[in-house]
Amino acid sequence: MNYLLQVDFPYSGPFGDEFFTEMEGLAQDIATENGLVYKLWTENEETQEAGGIYVFDNLDDANRYLAKHTERLTSFGFSDIKSKVFKINEELSKITKASV
């Protein structure tokens, strides 16, 4: 059973290539998280938001990482952090081309 974690927060930049350069080290750290299947990085310069969609292979690691990441974002000065955890319906997701 896989779980999706959605996180977003107000973010004023940088975006695009500069975002990659600034966040590459963090991405390498996140890649080592227990239970992480993958993360999709999200950014929207128009609405001044960033965040991510994470897939974890168990609920405990998804919740553990959410607490850790929320604490990290807060320490970086971010606020108004929004998050949700969902159980993935894998059978329906496979029909719609998800690789779960």
pLDDT of residue 100: 73
CATH of domain 3-95: 3.30.70.100
DSSP H/E element including 38: strand 36-44
Helix (H, G, I), strand (E, B) or coil at 35: coil
Per the CB < 8 A criterion, the answer to whether 84 and 6 are in contact is yes
Residue-wise pLDDT for 61-86, tens only, equals 999 999 999 999 999 999 999 999 99
Q: How far apart are CA 22 and CA 20, in angstroms?
A: 5
- Of 86, 46, 49, 48, nearest to 66 by C-alpha is 86
pTM exceeds 0.85 for this model: yes
For residue range 34-56, what is the model confidence (pLDDT) as tens digits? 999 999 999 999 999 999 999 99
